[in-house]
Amino acid sequence: MTGAEPIIEVRDLVAGYGERVVLDGISFDVYPGEILVVLGGSGCGKTTLLHHMVGLLKPLSGTIRYWGRDIGRMDEDELATLLHRVGISFQGGALFNSMTVGENVGLPMREYGNMDEEMVEILVRMKLSLVGLANSGYLMPSELSGGMKKRVGFARAIAMDPEIMFFDEPSAGLDPILAAGLDELILDIRRLLGVTMVVVTHELESIRAVADRALMLDGGKIIFMGKVGEAEQSSNSRVRQFFDRRPDAAIGEQV
């Protein structure tokens, strides 16, 4: 992993909403084939970071490069072409509620895969069976439980066999058995399909199971970057607090 060229380079990223700066100059790399976990307290800007990394939001300053190319300088078509190689699973699932589960997963294949309908159906079923929903393709999203929606979102993210995947809290809202299953799936997909992943998660178990490296955000800065094992020995009290699951004196407004 070390020594290889990074796939994604984030440099001095400053991001925020309007006047409010959420990420204050952060830099890091993502290497091919690794699973990088992004951690941090609620509201510290993990989702914001992910959305910037896939070009949904424009940074206030700083650059994000994929394979050496700055996405800030790409036009819409170039960015779209790049995003074909990227899969995203959103925090809320973000399924299209007026389509069946199968149509949701098959949407990107039908829109830019130029494949036979038969092939699409098999692939949809395959992706759904990977998340344990092989026979739910005909259901509407409103007929699913929260955890099922999450898994369909996951299946849609891997629909196009992306090279890089972003997961925003894939296992939040799943029971421990399913959550562990999802961790295993993340590891399997990485191993069998060689995908690079950036995973946002709060679950300590998940972090220990899947992470090659962890990146921890707090107060708009990176307060830790490295192996999970090192994090638990970190000298930063905030990092250790997270791994020891110690509460703040009071759950205050951490803005």
Ligand X SMILES: Nc1ncnc2c1ncn2[C@@H]1O[C@H](COP(=O)(O)OP(=O)(O)OP(=O)(O)O)[C@@H](O)[C@H]1O
By CB under 8 A, the residues from 107 to 136 that bind other proteins are 118-119, 122-123, 125-127, 129-130, 134-135
Best CA proximity match to 25, nearest among 11, 38, 13: 13
Using DSSP's 3-state secondary structure scheme, residue 125 falls into helix
**Beta partners for residue 28, in sequence order:** 10
By CB under 6 A, the residues from 159 to 218 that bind ligand X are none
Contact (CB, 8 A) for 173 and 147: yes
Residue 97's binding partner out of Mg ion, ligand X, other proteins, none, with CB under 5 to 8 Å set by partner kind: other proteins
Helix (H) or strand (E) segment spanning residue 11: strand 8-17
Residue 47 binding Mg ion, by CB under 5 A: yes
By CB under 8 A, the residues from 152 to 191 that bind other proteins are 161, 188, 191
Provide the minimum distance between the beta carbon of 1 and other proteins in the complex, in angstroms, as a whole number: 19
Q: Which of 10, 46, 59, 95 binds ligand X (CB under 6 A)?
A: 46
What's the distance, Cα to Cα, between the start and end of the chain in Å? 36
By CB under 6 A, the residues from 15 to 34 that bind ligand X are 17, 22
By CB under 6 A, the residues from 83 to 102 that bind ligand X are 91
Provide the minimum distance between the beta carbon of 20 and ligand X in the complex, in angstroms, as a whole number: 6
> How far does CA 192 lie from the centroid of its chain?
18
Our CB check for ligand X shows the closer of 91 and 129 to be 91
> In residues, how long is the chain?
255
Quick count: other Cβ atoms within 10 Å of Cβ 152? 27
Our CB check for Mg ion shows the closer of 91 and 234 to be 91
Contact (CB, 8 A) for 141 and 95: yes
Q: Which of 98, 233, 236, 237 binds other proteins (CB under 8 A)?
A: 98
Residue 48's binding partner out of other proteins, ligand X, Mg ion, none, with CB under 5 to 8 Å set by partner kind: ligand X
Residue 29 binding other proteins, by CB under 8 A: no
Q: Which of 35, 48, 153, 243 binds ligand X (CB under 6 A)?
A: 48
Candidate segments 5-13, 35-43, 116-124, 153-161, binder of ligand X by CB under 6 A? 35-43
Residue type, 91: Q
Candidate segments 36-44, 103-111, 118-126, 230-238, binder of ligand X by CB under 6 A? 36-44
DSSP, residue by residue, 160-196 = T--SEEEEESTTTTS-HHHHHHHHHHHHHHHHHH--E
Report, in this order, helix, strand and coil percent for the chain, each rounded to 5: 40, 25, 40
Candidate segments 91-99, 140-148, 158-166, 182-190, binder of Mg ion by CB under 5 A? 91-99
Best CA proximity match to 183, nearest among 163, 162, 197: 197
How many angstroms separate the Cα of 129 from the Cα of each of 88, 91, 123, 133, 137?
19, 21, 10, 5, 10
Q: Rule CB under 6 A: which residues touch ligand X?
A: 17, 22, 40, 42-48, 91
Q: Rule CB under 8 A: which residues touch other proteins?
A: 96-98, 118-119, 122-123, 125-127, 129-130, 134-135, 138, 140-142, 161, 188, 191-193
